[in-house]
Amino acid sequence: MQRILIVLALAILLLPAPHPGKPESVQAGALLVRAQPLPLSSVDAALRHVGALDYLGGWALESANPGFGGISALLVAPPGDVLGLSDSGILMGFHVGPGEAARRPFIAPLPIRAQDRYRPWWAWDSESLAHDPVSDRYWVGFELQQAVCRYGPGFARVEACRTWPEIMAWPKTGSIESLARLPDGRFLVIGEMGMTADGKHDSLLFAGDPAEKDTPDPIHLRYTPPKGYRPTDAVAIDAHHLLVLNRRLTLEDLFTATIAIVELPDRLTPGTELKARTLARLAPPLLADNFEGIAVTREAGRTIIWVVSDDNHEFFQRTLLLKFGLPDGEL
């Protein structure tokens, strides 16, 4: 009975409504994060592999700051400078692992345009994040509002926002969970619960900036996740490989996740199927929770994959940050 109640509580937390756990307001300032190292498995502390991936480290993250947590999107710069974005429009920057941090740890709300100040705090359901390292601009995908917004370098200001009828047709929760910027400047948005007629996940390929008013209409693609899972985030490794994080909630295992890879064809045309191949599955006795964010870095010529979980600001969940190495033969 207790497990059934937990599943019901988790399912309710995934609905598009405010809940008491979310912080109503956060002041910009310093952030102290405690990072407790964790083994990959609760029954084999020496386990260093899962599926095709090498386990390089994992941490349970905690902070006394009430705004910390709820991380739904992730960017990482080597060797371990983390930028997390919560589903309440809150940015969190901190460092994990060895090496020196490139910036001071901080927490701050996203900037808001003057015309958006009437919106309630819980309406800023920011679920996805992309970055252009050349211009240092950022893009955020918002559920509920069904909008994509672009921010200037350092998140100094909102530069543009746009809603799209193709996204408005998706459920207000389970829409822009995944927002990936491809190396050539195109953007891919995968609908978590926006479905095609044949049961695939509706995906939109934008020829340019999805926040810009002059960008042409996107074309529809179709994403096929591992069976039973739904996509929660995506990031491009290069021009031909996309990583997708997928989630499932069941009575038996509660939250489980898969890290999957999609091989992108040279030409993406309307209706192209993006079929995921599982690299690793995170389920008990391995570390498992509500994984919602994925990021990619390079260290010593190797592709590094990071995933983070959204604790929904609930005592029975955790903010887990995991680091994996992708063997060269998997690309």
Segment 271-285 shows an average pLDDT of 98
- What 3-state DSSP class applies to 114? helix
More confident residue, 319 or 16: 319
Is the pLDDT at 5 greater than 70, yes or no? no
Segment 55-80 shows an average pLDDT of 96
Tell me the residue length of the chain: 331
Confidence of residue 316 (pLDDT cuts 50, 70, 90): confident
Confidence of residue 238 (pLDDT cuts 50, 70, 90): very high
Q: Is-above-0.75 flag for pTM?
A: yes
In the sheet that 81-86 helps form, which strands lie side by side, from edge to edge?
A: 29-30, 106-109, 90-95, 81-86, 71-77
How many other CB atoms sit within 10 Å of the CB of residue 172? 15
Is the pLDDT at 322 greater than 80, yes or no? yes
Segment 246-271 shows an average pLDDT of 95
What's the pLDDT at 26? 84
Is the pLDDT at 230 greater than 90, yes or no? yes
What's the pLDDT at 24? 65
Between CA 254 and CA 269 the distance in angstroms is 37
Segment 15-31 shows an average pLDDT of 70
Cβ contacts of residue 209 below 8 Å, gap of 6+?
A: 139, 150, 160, 185, 187, 215
Confidence of residue 120 (pLDDT cuts 50, 70, 90): confident
Segment 151-161 shows an average pLDDT of 97
H/E stretch holding 9: helix 2-13
